[in-house]
Structure formats: C-alpha cells, structure tokens
Structure 1
Amino acid sequence: MPLPPPRPAPGRLRSWAREHPLTTDLSWALLWFVLTVATWPFPNASAFDTAVHLALAAGCCAALGARRARPLPSMAVLAVLLAVQVWWMGQFTTLSVVCALVTSYTSQTELAPAGRRLVLAALLTGTAGAVLFVPHTVFTEDLGVRVASLLFGWTTLLMFALLGAVRRHNREEVDRLREHALLLETKREQELRLAALDERARIAREMHDVLAHSLNVIVAQADGGRYAASTAPERAVAALTTIGRVGRESSREVHRLLGVLREDDPRPPRPAPGLEALVPLVDEYREAGLRVRLVREGDGPGDDAQDPPASVSLTVYRLLQESLANVLKHAGPVAVRVGLVRTPGRIAVSVANPLGTVPPGPGERPHGHGLVGMRERVALHGGSLEAGVDPASGTWRMRAVVPWEQA
C-alpha cells in the first residue's frame, strides 16, 4: 500500500501550533518584545524611562504569552499595564496597539459571553478616554480629528473582535462535528455488539436444534439396538452404524457453529441446510424408527413458485428437524405425516402424529425450549406457528407459515 504524501510545511506548522498553544503564544510574545525594543521611540530618553519602558513591555508580553492559558487574569494585567503605559508616555506605541488588538481578539475566542462583553466594553471605553483626553495620543487638538481617530480605533477593535467571534464559531462547529462523529462511532460499536449478541443467540438456537435432533436419534437407535442384539444382531450393527454417523455429523455441526465465535478461524463456513436437505433428514428419522410420510406440494418441476431465501429454507429445515425430534422423544416410533406446501411468497409446514406414550425421564421438564425457539424463528420472518392437541383426531399437530418478500 503506497504511503500518503507528506503534509506541506504550513499544514504541519499549524497542527503543531494547535497542539502547543502556550509555546506558540510565548514565541509570539517574545517576537513582540523584540520588536518593541527595536522600535523604542525615544532613543535619547533617560535610563529610568528606558527601564520603565522595558519593564512595561516585558509585563505586557508576559501577559500576552498567557492569554490562552489564563485569559481573564492576563487581560486584567494588560488593562493595568496599558493604562500606565499610555498615561506615562502620553501616546500609543506599537506594543500598546498590538496588546489592544490581541486582547479584543482573544476575549471573543476564550471567554464566556459575559466576559466577552465586559472586556470589549472596557477596550472601547479605554480607547475613547485615551484618544479624547490624553493630550499627545493624537497629534492635534482638533476635536473632529480626535473623533475620527476614535471611530477608526473602535472600528479596528470591533473588526478584531469579529475575527475572534468567527474563530470561536468555527472551533465550536469543529467540536460539534467531532462529538457527532464520536457518537456515531459509539452507536456503531453498540450495533456491532448487539449484532454479536444476536449471532450468539442464533448459534445457541442452532446448537439446541442440532443436539436435540442428534441425541434423540442416538437414544432411539441405542434402545432399538439393545433390544435387537439378542434376536437380530444385524439390526443391532445397523443401529450402531447410525449412532456413529449421527454422532460424527453432529460433532462436525457443533464445531462449525462454535467456529463462528472464533475470529482467527480461517476455515470458510459450511452452507446452512435448506429445502434440499429435507429428504435426507426424513430418511434419517425413518432409520431411527419413525414412519414418516412426506407430502410436498408446489415445489415440483412444473411449478412456478420462486425459490425462497436461504434464511427461510433454513427456518423450514429447523422447524421440521425440531418437530421430528420432539415426536421421537415424546411419542416414540409412531407414524408421522409431514406436509410442505409452497405458494408464491410463503411456505406452510405441518407435522401431525399420535399423542405420546413415552413417559418423561427423571428430571426431564415436560416443556422445553423447543417450541419457544421455533416460534422465535418463525416470528423473525413475520410468520405464525400453531402447536397443540387436536381434540377431534386426538393427535398432536404443528403448523407453521413462513412468508418472504418476492423479488
């Protein structure tokens, strides 16, 4: 992957300045101090006046260096130093103008609304007092010139205040966008966690279906093989063969489901069973002792019904698998009628069998999670499921309708 081109030097400098505001402000303050010393307007002044000027300049530049770290204290110090400087020198200097303009800008970027109004009002009032009442700030006594100079000074201060307000607005907008991006990232992480929980719940249902089906088949074959061992050894061998095959298939299926939880598993997932696997499933339960009669309608070669999505096919397969496992578990080797009717946009599955005569084992709950899981699967597709005893025929019936949207 090619490396991105390096950022231009101005861009890197701006990024560095944003990350180190105090160092940046101190650097600017040092530059202003050097310019103040270089532009000292009274080269023939006494040593005392020069020392006072340097002290005032150093104090003003130090306050400017802390304008973002400590904005309100630094502006209070600047107000006092600027008043002393204008009163002592009787005129505006380069440093006093710089301090007034930077203070106007910084008040709008760093202070709260009340502080912004207070500092701006103090700057405008101080400028008016200095221009109108300090004799040598304007080199004329004409009132019109002084008023024009005052208006020019106010305009300049308000312009820098406007620049600070724009800067503050841009910074707040960037902060808002960053917060919005953070919220979106948090929401995305939550959605991923919820998706992982849904996947784990799906895997739990899959494992329940697989294990319930396999264990019922194994138990039925083991019981049949035990009874047939003395009279028909070949049937006992066939039962053991079925037990081994079902156990291996179940083991592979469980490993496949658990492998989904491993991020470092490089093996591709096996395709989920669907409608094409219904006949082998029925044959497997026939070998376990159920007398299953499968009646299919609407899925012949001449039918125009559209193939259902893979999720619908898997749901139908799991419904039939769970139903046959329940029949074998609760009713034993009885006759079962399985109906599968396909129409455009829906599949109806029905299972009917005589009521069970197999008593529950010790510690076995009469109602497990099988029907609950079946209802959840059907509900995911907006379908319906009915299960219970039919009083007219005295049989247990399960009927489910699984719809889907056709393209």
Structure 2
Amino acid sequence: MTAHHPAAPGRPHRLDVLLATGGLCTGVLLWVLDLHGGPPLFGLPASLTLVALAVTAVAELLRRTAPLAALALAVPALALDVCTGTLVATVLMFTDVLYAAVLYGSPAAARRIPVYTVLVTVLATVTTAAAWPDPQVVLIGIGIAMVTMAPAWTGVITRDHRDAAQTARLRAEQTALLAEMDRTQAIVGERARMARELHDLVANHLSAIAIHTTAAQTIDDPSATRAALAVIRENSVQGLAEMRRLIGLLRDPEATTGEEPAATPTLDGLEALVEQARANGAASGLTFALDDARRPDGPDDGKPPAPVALAAYRIVQESLTNALKHAAPGEVLVRLAHAPGGALTVAVRSPHGDRPGPRAPGSGAGLVGMRERIALLGGEFEAGPAGGPDGRVWLVRAALPATGEEEQR
C-alpha cells in the first residue's frame, strides 16, 4: 500500500479540492430539489443547512493538511445540519473528514478518536431511547454508528496497514543496506588478505633481487657478480612460480597442478625458508639459525591449527625479509616455542644498527600485515629495538593462541 503524505501546509491536496467541490455542488442540488432527510428542528430555518454544507466543504479541504482542525469544523457543522433538515452530502463529507482525522492525524488522535466515537454512539442511542421508547431506536443507533464509528475504525484499519507497509519497506531497506555493508566489508577484508599474501610471497624474493643487483653493480669482482646473478636468477624463478600459483588460486581456488607447492605453507617449511635466507644474506655478512623449541607433547602434538601455522610462517618470512633489507652483519635467530598457556610464540632476533653495503628500501607494509594477521587471530604482537646479549637487536615477537579465531568461526 502506498503511504499517504500530507500536502504542503496551507495548500489543499487536489483530491481534497475535488471532494469538497463535488460535495458542495451535490448538497446544493439536493437542497434545491428539496431532498432533505427530515424537517428542521427547534424552529431553525432550513437555509442554515447550506451554512452547515459550506462549513463541511471547508473542512473537507483541510482533511489532509490539518485533519484535527477539519474535524473541529465538521462536528458542529454536522450538528447544525441535523437540526436544520440533514443533507446527505453533508453527512457523507463528515464521515470522510472523520476518516481522514484518524488516518492523517497524530498517533494520539488516532487512538482517542475511535474511542470517542463509541462513547458518542452509545450515549446518543441511550439518550434517544430514553426520550423516545420505540423499537426504531435500534435503527437510529445503527445509523449513528455508521456515521461515527464506521469511518473512525475504518481509518484505524487503513492506518495500521499503512504503518505496517512502511515498517516492512524500512525493514527491507535496512536489510539491503546491511547486506551492502557486509558485501563491502567482505570485499575490503578479502582485498586486505590478498594484499598480505601478495606482499609475503613476493617481498622476500624482490628484496634479495634488489640487494644482489646493487651488489653486482657496485662490486668490481667477476666471481661476486656471478654469485649475485645466480641468487637473482634463483629468486626470480621462485618469485615467478609463486606469483603464478597465487594467480591460479585467485582464478580457481580448487584448481591444483601436480608440481606446485601446497597452497598453505606450514611450519615444516621453516627450515627451507631459513636456508633460502642463508643463501640470500651470505654476501651481507648475515647468518641465520632456527631454534624450534616446541614441545612434542604440546597442543596438537606441536602442530597448531592451519590459520595459526600460516600466520607464524608469514611472520618468520617477513622478519627474514626485513633482516635481509636492514640488519647489520651478524646472526639472525628464529625461535619457536610453546608458552605456558599453550600459545605458540614466534621470535625473530636480528642485529640492529648500521650495515655496510647495499640495502633494499622498505615501506612498512610488512609490519602492518603482521599486526593484521595477529589481530585477526586474537594474539599479541610487538616489534622494535631491544637489548640483547650482543648489544642492541631488532626483535619481532608474536604470541599466537592455540586455536585461531578464524577457525573458531
């Protein structure tokens, strides 16, 4: 059902103008033809019927813009019409004004007016029965109810249907808005996840390529240049293979090819990751070591859930990449252990300070990605300079829960 909207204040709706004009013309025609409902009462002149008709027509003009004011005009006009002969057109316009007062009036008026019509109907019927004890009083009571109660309660029913339709429409709009917000959040979340994966897959190889390319350009040593070019080629091939795998997963998550690595890295691949960092960082005076202190009898026999394992792997991968870019010569230590509460802790300690030779630029996106991964799992993360046994070090430490938040969902 279409909701009815009041016209601008002081400007009657065109339909109301048609109703008022039609009712006025019809009433004048009935008066000219002497088609009254009865004789005038209390010695009043019959011409006053036209006054009641005109006032009711004015009330009809205000039925939508000022419904309560229209009803205030129509009630005495109806009383005057009944006392001066009763024109059907006036009675019909009154019922429409009463209906409009309930439909377009305030919520309080819509609640009270129907109750008042019941009281008026009962009171008028009882009064008439007391003054004129005749069986026809029942018909008079029914006629009064048709003029008062019927339009008022019809307005209540119509208003309830209108409000229900508006509520349903608002609920549908809210549902559509929430669905759009969920879709937008899902897209943003997926884009952030893809950005983290893309950065973690490619940054390590590109950093090694940048460092060794700079070394090959600045070091005038054929053997060192050949070694740098070998590292560059190895990282280029591996980076290209990982990019192809990622693109394949994006196009078809269920597609697999026989010789491609698993889609989700595990902690079993950390040794290979450290070995690759060893080869890439040899020219920069960096050594790499892995200390896996996880308890064999820990949660899940030392094998955390897939989201936790992937986050730990990516943290180590990004930390090793940052060490290749910025760490001073020395040892980079990767340590995994189980905290007393069963959480998996990952710590990467690298020398902090100025380093000679070429270094790759950094953007800070790696630290942001690591923080996002840990936040999604409900863990703790810290990164920054710290004191160590050999002087100042850069420490990256993460505590990952035994069960990832994503898995719980």
Q: TM-score range by the shorter chain?
A: 0.5 to 0.7
Rounded to whole Å, the distance in 1 between the matches of 2:118 and 2:94 is 7
Q: Which residue of 2 aligns with 1:346?
A: 343
User: What is the Cα deviation at residue 400 of structure 1?
Assistant: 1.9
- Rate the CA distance shift 1:360–1:103 in 2: closer, same or farther, 3 A: farther
Q: Give the aligned length.
A: 372
Rounded to whole Å, the distance in 2 between the matches of 1:269 and 1:385 is 32
Rounded to whole Å, the distance in 1 between the matches of 2:269 and 2:212 is 21
User: What is the Cα deviation at residue 243 of structure 1?
Assistant: 3.8
* Matched-pair contact (CA < 8 Å) for 2:99–2:155: yes
User: What is the Cα deviation at residue 246 of structure 1?
Assistant: 4.0
Q: Which residue of 2 aligns with 1:321?
A: 317
**Helix, strand or coil: the match of 1:358?**
coil
User: What is the Cα deviation at residue 218 of structure 1?
Assistant: 0.9
Matched, 1:242 2:231: no
Larger mean CA deviation between 75-84 and 327-336 belongs to 75-84
Q: Which structure exhibits the higher relative contact order, with contacts defined as CA atoms closer than 8 Å and separated by 6 or more residues? A: 2
Task: Tell me which of 251, 268, 279 is aligned to 2:253.
Answer: 268
Q: Which residue of 2 aligns with 1:107?
A: 101
- Rate the CA distance shift 1:188–1:360 in 2: closer, same or farther, 3 A: farther
**Helix, strand or coil: the match of 2:265?**
coil
* Matched-pair contact (CA < 8 Å) for 1:221–1:243: no
**Helix, strand or coil: the match of 1:341?**
strand
TM-score of the aligned structures, taking structure 2 as reference length:
0.62
**Helix, strand or coil: the match of 2:223?**
coil
Q: Which residue of 2 aligns with 1:286?
A: 278
- Rate the CA distance shift 1:74–1:213 in 2: closer, same or farther, 3 A: same
Matched, 1:164 2:155: yes
Q: Percent identity?
A: 29
Q: CA deviation digits over 1:303-346, x for unaligned, max 9?
A: 84374333322211221111111211123664332222357852
Task: Tell me which of 231, 242, 247 is aligned to 2:223.
Answer: 231
* Matched-pair contact (CA < 8 Å) for 2:117–2:152: no
Rounded to whole Å, the distance in 2 between the matches of 1:111 and 1:278 is 74
Matched, 1:295 2:291: yes
1:144-155 map, 5 Å? 144-145=133-134, 151-155=141-145
- Rate the CA distance shift 1:110–1:360 in 2: closer, same or farther, 3 A: farther
TM-score of the aligned structures, taking structure 1 as reference length:
0.62
Gaps spanning 5+ residues in structure 1: where? Answer: 1-14, 43-52, 133-137, 261-265
Q: CA deviation digits over 1:367-397, x for unaligned, max 9?
A: 9454454334323323223443334332624
User: What is the Cα deviation at residue 200 of structure 1?
Assistant: 3.6
**Helix, strand or coil: the match of 1:322?**
helix
- Rate the CA distance shift 1:85–1:123 in 2: closer, same or farther, 3 A: farther
Rounded to whole Å, the distance in 2 between the matches of 1:99 and 1:123 is 20
* Matched-pair contact (CA < 8 Å) for 1:345–1:405: no
User: What is the Cα deviation at residue 356 of structure 1?
Assistant: 4.5
Task: Tell me which of 174, 179, 182 is aligned to 1:183.
Answer: 174
Gaps spanning 5+ residues in structure 2: where? Answer: 6-12, 36-48, 256-262
Q: CA deviation digits over 1:120-171, x for unaligned, max 9?
A: 9799989999x99xxxxx9x99634487666544444235423422432343
Q: Which residue of 2 aligns with 1:403?
A: 401
Give the letter for the 2:223 counterpart.
Answer: T
Give the letter for the 1:185 counterpart.
Answer: A
Q: CA RMSD, aligned part only?
A: 5.8
* Matched-pair contact (CA < 8 Å) for 2:201–2:239: no
User: What is the Cα deviation at residue 99 of structure 1?
Assistant: 4.7
Q: CA deviation digits over 1:90-141, x for unaligned, max 9?
A: xx67766655544433331223368767899799989999x99xxxxx9x99
- Rate the CA distance shift 1:359–1:289 in 2: closer, same or farther, 3 A: closer
Rounded to whole Å, the distance in 1 between the matches of 2:254 and 2:355 is 38
- Rate the CA distance shift 1:218–1:236 in 2: closer, same or farther, 3 A: closer
